Amino acid sequence: MKGSTYRRCSCRDPKSGKELGTSCPKRNSRNHCTYSVRQELSPREDGSRRSFARGGYGSLKPAQADLDHVRALLGLADSDDPEGTELIAEMLAEVSRERSPLPEVEETRRRLNAGQDLIGSLTVAEWLDRWLAGKRIRKSGLNRYETDIRIHLKPHIGGRRLDRLRVSHLSEMFTDIRDANAQILEDNTQRRAAIDELATVPWKGADNRARRKAMKAAIDEMPPYRRITGPATRQHVKATLRAALNDAIGQQIITFNPAAHVEIDPVRKPKALVWTDERVAKWEQTGEKPSPVMVWTPQQTGAFLDFVAKDRLYAMWHLIAFRGLRRGEACGQPWSETNLATHSLTVSAQLVQDGWDVETSEPKTDSGFRVVALDNDTVEVLEHHRAQQNADRAEWAAAWVDTGLVFTQADGSWLHPGKVTDLFERLVAASGLPPIRLHDLRHGAATLMLAAGIDVKIVSDTLGHSDTRITRDIYQSVLPHVGKSAAEATAKLVPLQRRTEAEQAARKAAKAAKKAKTKEKAQAMSKRKGKAKRPKK
């Protein structure tokens, strides 16, 4: 296809208004004319011509460079690739119309080979929308991604070009989030102080009423209470962006993932602590929990189960406490996967919350699908629960909702996981025991298994963990007496001179005590014999 560079004079005849072109008297003057380029492109489908044209070059050299650039772009499509030829021609025609810069040859080659749009550049927001629309995961996971994108990613970096996103842009985003956290905390403190001050103003009296009215108006003007974006949420935002950019790399849209390299504050997961007597005493004095994750001792667990023995959902509390099922797994456990004859149940479903709505779902991971062995006592508890459920079914008659689940509401319908948590917290408060969360019953089950000497792999499989490291890191809050036994066993492995001398002294003392006791016993027997031989008077 033809292409050329040429000089062009823009001077016009003052009478006719037409360009003078080659008849301009100044045409041969240096720097009077500019250079232009024109390159014929493949015709449109209707046969009409199209071309790439651009002018205003100050010299021949840059004009020729752009013409060579256009020809290099045209050469990206093979002669037997009409679709590629059409895409490149349309791209160059639009670049000519919009007077936009010529795209890079290698970038265009990559996009052409990847089947991507050659015209325009994706923004981060556009890619995130496209990525989210293509995700095929459960609804709760989609909602979490959507929240990260809507609340954090789009407002901060949505307008940036995807292929020009850098680590520095993400560092700025997370710095802005931390700064916003500081502002939120300050706003919350001011609002709380204003409300506390309002509570001190009496209701009676015209002056007081006027003051209260003014204070209420000022409070209404303040920002409402807001939650900060904590470390865990920031890590999730980073993970969402990283996953989206990894998919963009997989589709050859970009070649670098800045989210994999940005550094943010780590999440420090709280360690599970056991409610020892000392911690209970301090909690009773201050009302503060030593850790967000607290575990009952076996005695405390037993006391709670005794307290709730008459509760309709006692079997659920018992199952979570001993076998470590998650809340959603217990709420969604069907009778069809509960085999009391073989002392086992199969975790294959769960009930999850979407906002306040409830839906059934498969376990989150492959390791969540598992068979859990049941002890005799748990089997007996479940048999009693099934008998009670059958009695409820007969009482409700036609109104019974047959969900086929082990744990249900009184009419057989689904339990709401959120309401189950609320009920558990009320029962714990009524029992007088130190507070734990419902999920901490699961921690307690893991702790009891580890304290009983169960292999960590079996504990991990029972809990549905994908890796035993998760079990060790999160759930191995050993009970005090187990730690004491381990400490004693460890100490005995190391020979110490002072310990040897102490042991020798202890053995000598024991030997002397034994000898003295034997002597005392012999003297007592001698006395008894002497009395027996004494003649009768």
| CATH label of the domain that carries residue 364 | 1.10.443.10
Distances (CA, A) of 390 to 149, 162, 320, 385, 387: 48, 60, 22, 9, 5
Q: Are 401 and 411 in contact (CB under 8 A)?
A: yes
What is the pLDDT confidence band of residue 453, given thresholds at 50, 70 and 90? confident
* pLDDT exceeds 80 at position 176: yes
- How many helices and strands in the chain, by DSSP H and E? 20, 10
- Closest of 372, 371, 326, 335 to residue 353, by C-alpha: 326
Final residue of a domain: which of 260, 292, 314?
260
DSSP string, 243-295: HHHHHHHHTTS-S--GGGT---PPP-PPPPEE--HHHHHHHHHH---SSSSEE
- Is 489 domain-assigned? no
Residues in the chain: 537
Q: Assess whether 331 and 234 both reside in one domain.
A: no
* pLDDT exceeds 70 at position 480: no
Residue type, 281: A
Q: Using one digit for the tens of pLDDT, what is the confidence trace for 334-391?
A: 999 999 999 999 999 999 887 788 888 888 778 889 999 999 999 999 999 999 999 9
- Is 267 domain-assigned? no
- Give the number of domains in the chain: 4
Considering only 5-19, 258-272, 432-446, which range has the smallest mean pLDDT?
5-19
List strand residue ranges (DSSP E) for 444-529, in order: none
Final residue of a domain: which of 67, 95, 114?
114
Final residue of a domain: which of 85, 114, 143?
114
Q: Using one digit for the tens of pLDDT, what is the confidence trace for 260-286?
A: 999 998 887 777 888 999 999 999 999
Q: Assess whether 371 and 226 both reside in one domain.
A: no
Considering only 142-156, 399-413, 483-497, 501-515, which range has the smallest mean pLDDT?
483-497
Q: Using one digit for the tens of pLDDT, what is the confidence trace for 92-141?
A: 998 898 888 898 898 888 888 877 777 667 899 999 999 999 998 877 78
* pLDDT exceeds 70 at position 516: yes
Q: With the C-alpha atoms ordered 119, 125, 131, 133, is the resulting torsion angle positive or negative?
A: negative
Query: Residue 505: which domain range?
Result: 495-537
Q: Are 458 and 475 in contact (CB under 8 A)?
A: no
- Residue 251: predicted pLDDT: 84
- Residue 163: predicted pLDDT: 86
Sheet strands side by side (includes 3-8): 3-8, 34-40, 51-57
Non-local CB neighbours of 236 within 8 Å, separated by 6+ positions: 144, 148
| Neighbouring C-beta atoms of residue 432, cutoff 10 Å | 9
Once rounded to an integer, what is the mean pLDDT over residues 16-26?
70
pTM flag (> 0.75): no
- Is 487 domain-assigned? no
| Neighbouring C-beta atoms of residue 442, cutoff 10 Å | 22
* pLDDT exceeds 60 at position 77: yes
- Is 499 domain-assigned? yes
- As a whole number of angstroms, the distance between CA 245 and CA 335 comes to 43
Q: Are 18 and 45 in contact (CB under 8 A)?
A: no
Place of tokens 């009676």: 204
The more confident residue out of 23 and 216 is: 216
Q: Assess whether 352 and 464 both reside in one domain.
A: yes
* pLDDT exceeds 80 at position 529: no
Once rounded to an integer, what is the mean pLDDT over residues 223-251?
93
Q: Are 321 and 305 in contact (CB under 8 A)?
A: yes
- As a whole-number percent, the residues of the chain with pLDDT over 90 amount to 55
